[in-house]
Structure 1
Amino acid sequence: MIGRLRGPLLEVGDEDAIVEAGGVGYIVRCGVRTLAAMPKPDAEILLHIESQTREDGTRLYGFLNKDERQAFQILLTVQGVGPKAALSVLDVLTPVQLAQAVAQDDKASVGRANGVGPKLALRIVVELKGKPLTTAVFEPVALRPDEPLKPTVNGESVAALMGLGVSETQARLAVETALRDLGADAALPLVIRTALKNLSK
């Protein structure tokens, strides 16, 4: 089993990346958030890997930190959640945000993930109760149980682009790239303008 890969980043596609390790190019499936945070080709990268073996072979899933891999593994324990749905959830919620959503029974936030309907979102929230989604310190008591997750610049920017007819995958990639360049505290209008510029390149 492969636990992590370190080496030059050869290519970045819409759904996966190719990382060279020991002279072999490994195709690694990644979420949009992970792909957007990757360096330029030829730069060295370290990915934490989860391997999934099925009848058609072994597929590698890559994450930039251990928390994301851990959340992915735990999401897969939920009935009806496969790798694609798990990646979709982590595209819209970080592990800490997912833990917060679970603690608050906020199935609406989980249901924002592409391909995750209301029933599956509810199952995720119910079945993940008490499970260690992140190693970060998280205090749900500091929040009211009925208080929903606040809209984020990331989420609102993606929604704005999708309202303009941009596909969800393209919108998320463009926004993540914009936030990486501008910083996490960038204002919403600036993020949207920058993301639109990224799409026009």
Structure 2
Amino acid sequence: MIAHLKGRLDSTGIDHAVIDVGGVGYLVGASSRTLASLGPVGEAAMLHTEMLVAEDFIRLVGFASAAERDWFRLLTGVQGVGARVALAILSALEPGDLSRAIAGGDKAMVARANGVGPKLAQRIVMELKDKVGGLPIPADGLSSVPLAGATADAVSAMLNLGFRPAEAASAVASADEELGSGATLDALVRLALRKAAK
């Protein structure tokens, strides 16, 4: 699986970008927010990615942040939400806003996205409420601990392993507190996994 692309922005379209990595151009679908976050054509660009594989296609989807990618995974796990609808939701709402909308049961906010009717918005809120947790979720969409560098990457790794956002953030925060600010990603994830297993 391709986890991220780092290269030069070759071109952009309405719903995609082409990233040149060592002479190979990767066509990457993306939300309007992600496309807006990319610099000008010809400049360096980095996208977190998710590879979608079906019988008749293989497609890369790119995200400006690991949090946006994690939300894409959660959204596409809901029945009736494909990649196109998930990207429409992520175009309309930042991850933090989406977290607050789902934690607060605000289906009207989710329904602001193109292609999301009231019934689908209700299903998204109902199915993801338990996965997001009932905690109030601040701007970073995950925890009250400031996430940066190895800490943010450790939370992302925990989410990729199937932990809920609240569990991942809590375990990583506890590990970070114990190990101190100079902790490596590997050490953080190992200790966070031990703490989450207790």
TM range (shorter): 0.5 to 0.7
Q: What letter matches 2:52 in structure 1?
A: Q
Q: Which stretch has the larger CA shift, 48-57 or 130-139?
A: 130-139
Percent identity reads 46
- Partners of 1:96 and 1:8 in 2: how far apart? 28
Does 2:154 match 1:137? no
**1:41 shift after superposition:** 0.7
The alignment yields a C-alpha RMSD, in angstroms, of: 1.7
SS at match of 2:33: helix
- Residue 61 of structure 1 aligns with which residue? 61
Q: 1:107·1:122 contact (CA, 8 Å) conserved in 2?
A: yes
- Residue 16 of structure 1 aligns with which residue? 16
Q: 1:18·1:25 contact (CA, 8 Å) conserved in 2?
A: yes
**1:56 shift after superposition:** 2.0
The runs of 5 or more residues in structure 1 that have no matched partner are: 140-201
Q: 1:8·1:19 contact (CA, 8 Å) conserved in 2?
A: yes
Does 2:103 match 1:103? yes
The runs of 5 or more residues in structure 2 that have no matched partner are: 134-139, 146-198
Matches within 5 A, 1:39-58: 39-58=39-58
- Partners of 2:106 and 2:129 in 1: how far apart? 12
Distance 1:138-1:91 versus aligned 2 partners, 3 A rule? farther
SS at match of 2:49: strand
- Give me the TM-score of the superposition, normalised by structure 1: 0.66
- Residue 123 of structure 2 aligns with which residue? 123
- Partners of 1:92 and 1:57 in 2: how far apart? 26
SS at match of 1:48: strand
SS at match of 1:41: coil
Matches within 5 A, 1:150-189: none
Aligned residue pairs: how many?
139
Higher relative contact order (CA 8 A, sep 6+): 1
**1:37 shift after superposition:** 1.6
Moved over 3 A (4+): 132-135
- Residue 6 of structure 2 aligns with which residue? 6
- Partners of 2:6 and 2:130 in 1: how far apart? 32
- Partners of 2:43 and 2:99 in 1: how far apart? 32
- Give me the TM-score of the superposition, normalised by structure 2: 0.67
